[in-house]
A and B are shown apart, each in its own frame.
Chain A
């Protein structure tokens, strides 16, 4: 049965789009049929991160308004044939997205895919509430930083009250994905550590994605990090997270501190 997953955070810039692309890529690599859906109307970027920006013809709003068929708007990934993208509109007003329109598109996507991953816009307005509205599960992305954790908490409250599942008296399944984690800084007490975040947010941990240059490299070339460099630490973290989403038990790898020699520390440099 298809699962609808929303990737959300409240705060902008924490890695929702990166995580949507990476999890989508990983699930597709694991043999699942996946569509990633961009809900950020007016500020779409998932197309760019997926490397499909020059292939967008129709978008989500065109489909909800009946201007285009779903099959016309879906873009197939060039690397994996079971990975698809439904882009957001770049020109339309965000109010053009309606609740009924979204409900119908999600229902149709459920019949065609194993996973429907909705990339939420930042904020708590219409776009964000519609992205989570028909989800079965949520990935709440946060950085180890106070404003991001506060906003994640707010979003968790919305997931428990404003989704169709919550309104029907069901629980939406929630996971936290910690991104841009720097184990060294956490060990030195400069950054909230994993236990702090989990204690505060009180939802299960889906994964810890280490701060890494591989993420930027992947977005530069328009490829989910899980497909661009599958052996890199962030790709492995996302790939493990994707397996956990699928119900597998995968041991959590906490990113370890970058080893620094005593001389390196004294000189303030990383050892090679």
Chain B
């Protein structure tokens, strides 16, 4: 009974507004990408390719996070480079 009373009081504040907002953000993003390659995905691939050309990467030590927002998206690539790589980089350059 108390739950039902609570529901009555909360009548206009259901989860639908959240659904609506999430959809609007997501679709604005997906519509923009529809005819184009996935920019963030492409950046991720190429960044990793460049880094792995110079450093032996342990795939388990690479953390990639993407966050797609309405105005700005972020790509976060966290690569753990083993010690000793700098020496090889110096030789390479």
Contact = CB atoms under 8 A, between A and B. Distances in A.
A157 B20 contact: no
A189 B27 contact: no
A157 B32 CA distance: 11
A189 B34 contact: no
- Classify the secondary structure of B's interface with A: helix
Interface string A141-153: 0000110011001
Contacts of A200: 20, 23-24, 27
A265 interface: yes
Interface string B19-58: 1101110110011001100000000000000000000000
A188 to B, nearest CB: 5
A157 B15 CA distance: 27
A219 interface: no
A188 B4 contact: no
A192 B16 contact: yes
B35 A189 contact: no
Contact of B20 (A161, A196, A268): A196
A193 to B, nearest CB: 7
B14 A189 contact: yes
B89 interface: no
Contacts of B24: 200
B88 interface: no
Interface string B46-76: 0000000000000000000000000000000
Contacts of A196: 16, 19-20
Interface in A165-213: 185-193, 196, 200
Nearest to A153: B27
B16 A186 contact: yes
Contacts of B83: none
A160 B5 CA distance: 48
A154 interface: yes
B84 interface: no
Contacts of B20: 192, 196, 200
A266 interface: yes
B14 A190 contact: yes
A150 B27 CA distance: 7
- With most chain B CB atoms within 10 A of its CB, the pick from A186, A190, A265 is A190
Nearest to B14: A189
Nearest to B20: A196
A217 to B, nearest CB: 29
Interface of A: 145-146, 149-150, 153-154, 157, 161, 185-193, 196, 200, 265-268
Given A146-B23, A192-B23, A196-B16, 13 more contacts: A150-B23, A150-B26, A153-B27, A154-B30, A188-B7, A188-B12, A189-B11, A189-B16, A191-B16, A200-B23, A265-B8, A267-B1, A268-B4
